[in-house]
Structure 1
């Protein structure tokens, strides 16, 4: 994968049918994590740690910040947070693919300066199985 424009990494939310782009995100970060399950015991060769493959919990988290492009996108994000809803989200990674699945918004922050626009930051945590689709 060659260098890509950061603005092409898109975050979308399902509006009950199609996926629509969420606001004007300027920064985005997607992370995948997997816990390990240590099965080391007294008979482990050379007392080296042993792990049980495929047994740990996997998760994805996404964070981003930017500006709301309209009242509708602001209302959609705000409603999802205050309802504690688990909604279907999609992350498009240019020249790589898309990650789709249920996420819950765990953080929503607003900030601004007297001579600038209102900005927001949000954080999402996966809430179920995710699927990957190649582009």
Structure 2
């Protein structure tokens, strides 16, 4: 089992079925969760609750150094302004991809007095998250 560092995991924005790497990206978090359905009944063993998985959801949060000429950032800017969803994926060094359609829920730029201009983006999954194993 090989270990990897996060610096080799990159976020891409799809444009006409090709991925454009999000330049300047520093951190990314893929969050996945499921609602729980209480399945406890009078014949449940002991006093332990039982539960089942319900609806699932996923999201990606990322941030980085703002690069004004970045094509992928431009795609996000256009989609946000036009209230359109975007297809995003995170690719691991092995080629494994976590991919799906997203809604941009937060799209911030920070302009500090004495540091780099940075962005932060929150993308809420719209539908299923696809996981495709690498080669």
Q: Please report the TM-score for the alignment, with normalisation by the length of structure 2.
A: 0.86
In 2, Cα distance between equivalents of 1:123 and 1:99: 16
Contact kept, 8 Å, 1:88 with 1:102, in 2: the verdict is: yes
User: 1:91 is matched with which residue?
Assistant: 90
| Preserved CA contact (<8 Å) 1:81 1:107 | no
Runs of at least 5 residues in structure 1 that lack an aligned partner in the other structure: none
CA RMSD of aligned residues (A): 1.8
- For the 8 Å contact 1:8–1:93, the answer to whether it is kept is yes
- Do the aligned residues in 1 keep the contact of 2:20 with 2:72 (CA within 8 Å)? no
Per-residue deviation, residues 64-103 of structure 1 (Å, max 9, x unmatched): 1102334233322222223232221111123371111111
| Aligned positions of 1:1-135 closer than 5 A | 1-52=1-52, 55-71=53-69, 72-95=71-94, 97-135=96-134
Say if 1:95 and 1:63 are closer, same or farther in 2 by CA, change over 3 A. Answer: same
Whether the 8 Å contact between 1:65 and 1:119 is mirrored in structure 2 is yes
Post-superposition CA distance 1:51-73 (Å, at most 9, x none): 23xx5111111111102334233
SS state of the match for residue 3, structure 1?
Answer: coil
Whether the 8 Å contact between 1:28 and 1:63 is mirrored in structure 2 is yes
For 2:73 and 2:101, locate their aligned partners in 1 and report how far apart those are by CA, in whole Å. 20
In the alignment of these two chains, the number of paired residues is: 133
Under a length normalisation based on structure 1, what TM-score does the superposition of the two structures give?
0.86
CA separation in 1, counterparts of 2:120 and 2:34? Answer: 25
Give 1 or 2: higher strand fraction: 2
Unaligned runs of 5+ in 2: none
